[in-house]
Structure 1
């Protein structure tokens, strides 16, 4: 019987686990090895780790965690979870069953990219979602924003801080006069011809045959929990402008007593820095729930 089973061993899950093992609690991390930023070569905006390969940040954090004797780490996928506070069971894909007093879902989210040919291959390389993570390295060049819905207008309004922006509506949004005026005030060009495909490093081929070249492209994909287990277990979900996430209270507890969630799956907006902070807070709150279980 572990004190806490952490489902998801990326930045948020590890940050939570660090608080708990330093309180000498028994922690078992189960990680499926699907970090959301695995496509990116560099992580930016994370204090002390700016420009570092995110895989290196992850590997360093895991090594530091595994120095604590109360941590166990299993590489695998959780397929089911059940039980109640102080008596949870987690089933892995290989049939193993783990027991824990608390559960923490740090499973992250899956990005649902718009159906533009060539986008998936460039995701994290020349197509991004966060300007704070990737905007500076574009050196104020030409930037494309590919719309996915109304939230993309805000993205297009923000990105002129990092370069010269062209906003591609791509049939996914109709701009009213107010939206057009707000974009014009930010010197954003509007392109309403549909996109045929992405090509080269950051080229957009339009259906009329034109090819427009950029130093980088941004889009706002809808997100959903990467694992179906929290929903199947009964955790309440909520809709945000960025997609679906697990609903939690200020202590990071879900709608189920004893079940917590943190990181991208339980907060918006998303970044490594915010995930680490959210995970650290969740770890502290989990520890408090073990010390004072009736509070």
Structure 2
């Protein structure tokens, strides 16, 4: 039996595995290899590694984990989870059963892309979700934002730190007169019509096409598609969740503990703020929580 089974081997999962491996705990990490930021050419705001491709960071982390003999990395997909603390069972897609005393969920989230031609092809390149992650490279250029929730109105203020050329695409949503006037006074260009297509060259944005026939030239388009956990373990186990503007996340305490004893979670699953730094930090806390819970 493993001390801890970690489901998800991207940044959060590997950070938890390293901390537990250094504590000489028996750990197995199950990973599908589908890290959420695989679309991005470079990762930013990760101290000491700014501008490094995500795949390169993950490759190096996996190599470093080889120094810890109690940690095992397995390429596999977990299909179901059952049991309770000290007696969890994980069934993989290949039919293998793995037993563990504790669980750490770090399988992340998936984004449900809208059916707009060019959106998926440009995602992570010039159709992006975070100015802190990608804004510096397109600072001072023409930005667009697809309205997704009232938080989008706050985003137009935030983006002003990077550019003064901002277009807000309501995409069929409505604004009241007061909100519209306030935005226009700040120089925000508002477009009411729905987006119909994104014109791009291998993911490099050129313009967006609207249902009213307009074509708006842009260099970057910010969008926040709905997202969801990449597996339904929270449903299988009845774990408490919390709503975010773009989906749900697992509810955890300050040590990553979920609503069910023995189960911890980290990374994009537990935070509306998505970055490698936040994922790694939350994974370290979850690892500490899981380890502490097994002490006599």
Question: What's the TM-score once normalised by structure 2's chain length?
Answer: 0.94
For the 8 Å contact 1:21–1:68, the answer to whether it is kept is: yes
Partner of 1:174: 174
Instruction: Give the 3-state SS of the residue equivalent to 1:291 in structure 2.
Output: coil
Partner of 2:41: 41
Give, in whole Å, the separation in 1 of the partners of 2:77 and 2:182: 46
How far 1:209 moved relative to its partner? 2.6
Matches within 5 A, 1:18-57: 18-57=18-57
Instruction: Identify which of 253, 276, 285 aligns with 2:289.
Output: 285
How far 1:105 moved relative to its partner? 0.4
Q: Residues 15 and 209 from structure 1, CA distance in 2 versus in 1: closer, same or farther, beyond 3 angstroms? A: same
Instruction: Give the 3-state SS of the residue equivalent to 1:107 in structure 2.
Output: coil
Give, in whole Å, the separation in 2 of the partners of 1:17 and 1:162: 37
Instruction: Identify which of 255, 258, 272 aligns with 2:262.
Output: 258
For the 8 Å contact 2:80–2:91, the answer to whether it is kept is: yes
Instruction: Give the 3-state SS of the residue equivalent to 1:37 in structure 2.
Output: helix
How far 1:112 moved relative to its partner? 1.9
For the 8 Å contact 2:6–2:103, the answer to whether it is kept is: yes
Q: Select between 193-202 and 117-126 the one with higher mean Cα deviation.
A: 193-202
Structure 1 residues without counterparts, runs of 5 or longer:
none
For the 8 Å contact 2:149–2:245, the answer to whether it is kept is: no
Q: Select between 203-212 and 178-187 the one with higher mean Cα deviation.
A: 178-187
Instruction: Give the 3-state SS of the residue equivalent to 2:231 in structure 1.
Output: coil
1:111 paired to 2:111 = yes
Matches within 5 A, 1:117-156: 117-156=117-156
Q: Select between 230-239 and 270-279 the one with higher mean Cα deviation.
A: 230-239
Matches within 5 A, 1:208-227: 208-227=212-231
Q: Deviations over 1:53-91 (max 9, x none)?
A: 011011111111122100111101000011110111100
How far 1:185 moved relative to its partner? 4.9
1:239 paired to 2:240 = no
Structure 2 residues without counterparts, runs of 5 or longer:
none
1:276 paired to 2:280 = yes
Give, in whole Å, the separation in 1 of the partners of 2:109 and 2:157: 25
For the 8 Å contact 1:237–1:244, the answer to whether it is kept is: yes
Question: What's the TM-score once normalised by structure 1's chain length?
Answer: 0.95
How far 1:253 moved relative to its partner? 0.9
Q: Deviations over 1:28-48 (max 9, x none)?
A: 000011100000111111111
User: What stretches of structure 1 move > 4 A for 4+ residues in a row?
Assistant: none
For the 8 Å contact 1:12–1:279, the answer to whether it is kept is: yes
Give, in whole Å, the separation in 2 of the partners of 1:239 and 1:106: 18
Give, in whole Å, the separation in 1 of the partners of 2:139 and 2:254: 38
Give, in whole Å, the separation in 1 of the partners of 2:285 and 2:273: 16
